[in-house]
Amino acid sequence: MHALYDLAVGPLAWLAFGVFIIGSVYRLLAMRALALRKDGAFVAYVSWPHAFKSLAHWFTPFGALGWRENPGVTIATFIFHICLFLVPLFLMGHIVLFDTFRGWSWPALPDGAADVLAIVVVVICAYFLWRRLSVPEVRFVTSAQDVLVVSLVGLTFLTGVLAYHRIGDNLVLTTLHILSGEAMLVAIPFTRLSHMLFGVFSRGYIASEFGSVRHAKDW
Amino acid sequence: MSTIADRLIEDEGLRRGVSRLTPEKIEKVFKELIAGECGARLKTYVESCVRCGMCAKACHYYMSHKDPSYTPVAKVSQTMWRLLAAGGRVEPQVIYECAQVAYTECNLCRRCIHYCPLGIDTGYIISVVRRLCHKLGVTPQYIQDTAHSHSAVLNQMWVKDDEWPDTLQWQEEEAREEFPGLRIPLDVEGADFMYSVIAPEPKFRTQLIYQAAAIFNAAGLNWTMPATPGWDNSNMAMFTGDSEIMSRVERAHYETAQRLRVKRIVMGECGHAFRAVYDVANRWLGWKWHPVPVVHSVEFFWELIQQGRIKITHKYADPVTIHDPCNIIRGRGLMDKLREVTHFLCENVVEMSPNREHNYCCCAGGGVINCGPPFKNVRIVGNSIKAEQLRATGVHTLVAPCHNCHGGLEDIISKFGLGMHTKFLGDLIYELMEKPEAE
Amino acid sequence: MKRRTTPLALVAFVAALLLALPALSQQDMTTVPDEAFKTRTRPPALFKHDEHNEKAKLDDCTACHHGEKDGKRDPGADTSGIPCSDCHAVEAKPGRTPLMRAFHKQCLGCHMTQKKGPVTCGDCHKPVK
């Protein structure tokens, strides 16, 4: 287990960051090249001012019709995504690893707050899974991959929470936590999680069409 | 859970189409289509859709049926995802199902864009499915007939070359009874604008041409209509997925305007035609914008009112409500002008809710009404949400500046016993305007 | 009598205690000393000095109690008895190792290279039983 832990915090961590960053950059550039090659008649209408205006609405809770009409999902989605970024990036335990081995340090969230936010992520993952399996219109379009990626995120945060509270064998849970987190990073460029990369561009494109051609709002 | 397979409707065009297919043939055409015509948009949409189901409430079909297989994402999952997962190698029956979903259960109204945080354009994906069905020769019989008509005579309704000027002259003659000096100027080079209409107008709604001529006459405008093919601005080929015919039709339309050296094209009160001329065919022809400026009637009437060229004797007294047609509202942002014109004409305007860009579709557009009788009941029952929306206004007059919307809304009104009647802006203006020369 | 002997005995006891302090503190040490930190985010890391060294077969004090030369770790100097925080300030100047990093490097770094001993947060930072 000790060896696996070493592997997870060492080579695998660099591998995961590498695949995530290089993979993401590659996917974005490849998609851009494809758009320029095949969607020229549509790329031509891209208008950043319209894109930013629309994105501002979509990044505001209840700032768009879809958010207003789905209040439960909206609240869950916003809290989920905010925590999803905030907790890993500003968690004491993560910063300490960088501080110890790289000498990089930045301000951390108070442990108690990070703990609550991480638990919130786990609860929302459970809510998303429940929706997948019980809400008919979601279930109708759910595939194995959808369940898998939500579970992966949930597992990462759940093992993190358990390790923090020292429930179960700490080495086993911490190792599992690191490995599932790494799997999540690697999955981002190559699964549904790629909406993290493409989401602003697909929204920005349609916002451009609506704004500059159709003169109508798209939120 | 029920799927499209549980509600298949017999259509001769679809049936005959799939009878000629084999999985190999489908695979070949599908792969060519994906490699040849699709790019980053389809790839991004298919890949990054997180299947959250938020779009369900956008769709009038889902809101009316509450059946999960009618949500926008479900329509994509039952068509494009299914085809992509199989690499296009599917049984012909699957194409039948894809065609029924794509042609008759989605109006391409784009309301779902207001629901998807990722901005996924379901209408575009469904258009690609239609393109595939067209290439495979699997199209509903009725709409295919209109596409054939476009192909043969460049208009939707098999109006022969000589029938067209004949009809215009007949309407001119009729109108001169009422307005002695009225002309419907044919082929006048250098006129201020070319007025174009959809083929159903000369075919069976000639009154609309009459009214337009009366309004332009009263306003003292310098206008013309072409005497040659290229006069029809409708475009059903756009909705069958026949981009080649679509662009031929629009090219003829633009070129007719250019031949007449008009300053711009004013289009009658039709939504899909506007979409074709303003937003779609120009791209296929390689024009970023239009070679000739294009204005929809709503905007044109608004201009005439601003300029004081339309004078009315009185305002329409009964309360009216406004239906926002997708192709000129979500497609052109004319919601404010539509309201200003309506308020100019009517005493009492009751807004329906939701409205403007968020309005529910009429369920006729996107070529759905053109798929004809076999699918009529589905689209009417599939829009009970619109009926509820209309009923809630409590008014009896419905302003809808779009032909397709008229068709769809009238069907809903009669099916659900709403006791309303629909009006074009042209109907109202003609009814209310000062008729100086009238005898 | 009583009044005089009690203070004397007390002084002797305190003196003895002071002399024996380093030895005593190491024997009784259960955690890494964290007095220097103004705020504590976690319980102090469990560390039974003698037991640890016995288990780790550590005889050389400089393995941990190292000195410093030209801004680098100097394993030649034995700094036993000097609190770590004397050199490793909590808020260190640029180029120096702050206390928390020093502790983590010392413990975690060695455990990682030796492939022995606790390496996760929760295996060190836990309440004393």
C22 and C37 within one domain: no
Please count the structural domains in chain B: 3
The confidence score (pLDDT) of residue C40 equals 86
Asked if residue B437 is part of any domain, the answer here is no
Asked if residue C84 is part of any domain, the answer here is yes
Q: Which of A90, A170, A171 to mutate to test the interface with C (most CBs of C within 10 A)?
A: A170
Interface of A with B in 123-182 (CB under 8 A): 131-132, 135-143, 146
Tell me which chain C residue has its CA closest to the CA of residue A93.
C121
State which residues form the domain around B52.
4-139
- pLDDT band for C23, please (50, 70, 90 cuts): very low
State which residues form the domain around C23.
1-28
Return per-residue pLDDT of chain B as tens, 439 residues: 799 999 999 999 999 999 999 999 999 999 999 999 999 999 999 999 999 999 999 999 999 999 999 999 999 999 999 999 999 999 999 999 999 999 999 999 999 999 999 999 999 999 999 999 999 999 999 999 999 999 999 999 999 999 999 999 999 999 999 999 999 999 999 999 999 999 999 999 999 999 999 999 999 999 999 999 999 999 999 999 999 999 999 999 999 999 999 999 999 999 999 999 999 999 999 999 999 999 999 999 999 999 999 999 999 999 999 999 999 999 999 999 999 999 999 999 999 999 999 999 999 999 999 999 999 999 999 899 999 999 999 999 999 999 999 999 999 999 999 999 999 999 999 999 998 765 5
Decide if A164 and C121 are in contact by the 8 Å CB cutoff: yes
Neighbours of chain A (3+ CB pairs under 8 A): B, C
| For residue C10, pLDDT beyond 60 | no
User: Residue A119's CB: how many other CB atoms inside 10 A?
Assistant: 18
10 Å CB burial of residue B355 (0-12, 13-18, 19+) is middle
What tens digit of pLDDT does each residue of A29-46 get? 999 999 999 999 999 999
- ipTM rounded to 2 decimals: 0.95
What tens digit of pLDDT does each residue of C44-96 get? 999 999 999 999 998 889 999 999 888 888 888 899 889 999 999 998 888 88
Which among C104, C116, C120 has the least Cβ separation from residue A170?
Answer: C120
Residue B289's nearest CA partner among C89, A212, A191, A11 is: A212
10 Å CB burial of residue A167 (0-12, 13-18, 19+) is exposed
Decide if B48 and A194 are in contact by the 8 Å CB cutoff: yes
Q: What CATH number is given to the structural domain containing A175?
A: 1.20.950.20
B179 and B79 within one domain: no
Q: Which residues of A touch C104 (CB under 8 A)?
A: 96, 99-100
What tens digit of pLDDT does each residue of A107-152 get? 999 999 999 999 999 999 999 999 999 999 999 999 999 999 999 9
10 Å CB burial of residue B82 (0-12, 13-18, 19+) is middle
C76 and C91 within one domain: yes
User: Can you tell me the distance from the alpha carbon of B21 to that of C101, in angstroms, rounded to the nearest whole number?
Assistant: 70
B316 and B299 within one domain: no
C115 and C72 within one domain: yes
C19 and C80 within one domain: no
User: Can you tell me the distance from the alpha carbon of B118 to that of A195, in angstroms, rounded to the nearest whole number?
Assistant: 8
Q: Across the 219 residues of chain A, what is the mean pLDDT of every consecutive 10-residue run?
A: 90 96 98 96 95 97 97 97 96 94 93 96 97 96 95 97 95 96 96 96 97 96
B223 and B157 within one domain: yes
Asked if residue A59 is part of any domain, the answer here is no
Decide if B332 and A214 are in contact by the 8 Å CB cutoff: yes
User: Can you tell me the distance from the alpha carbon of C94 to that of C3, in angstroms, rounded to the nearest whole number?
Assistant: 56
User: Can you tell me the distance from the alpha carbon of B360 to that of B358, in angstroms, rounded to the nearest whole number?
Assistant: 7
The yes-or-no reply on C/B contact (3 CB pairs or more, < 8 Å) is: no
C24 and C84 within one domain: no
Tokens of B141: 């019989």
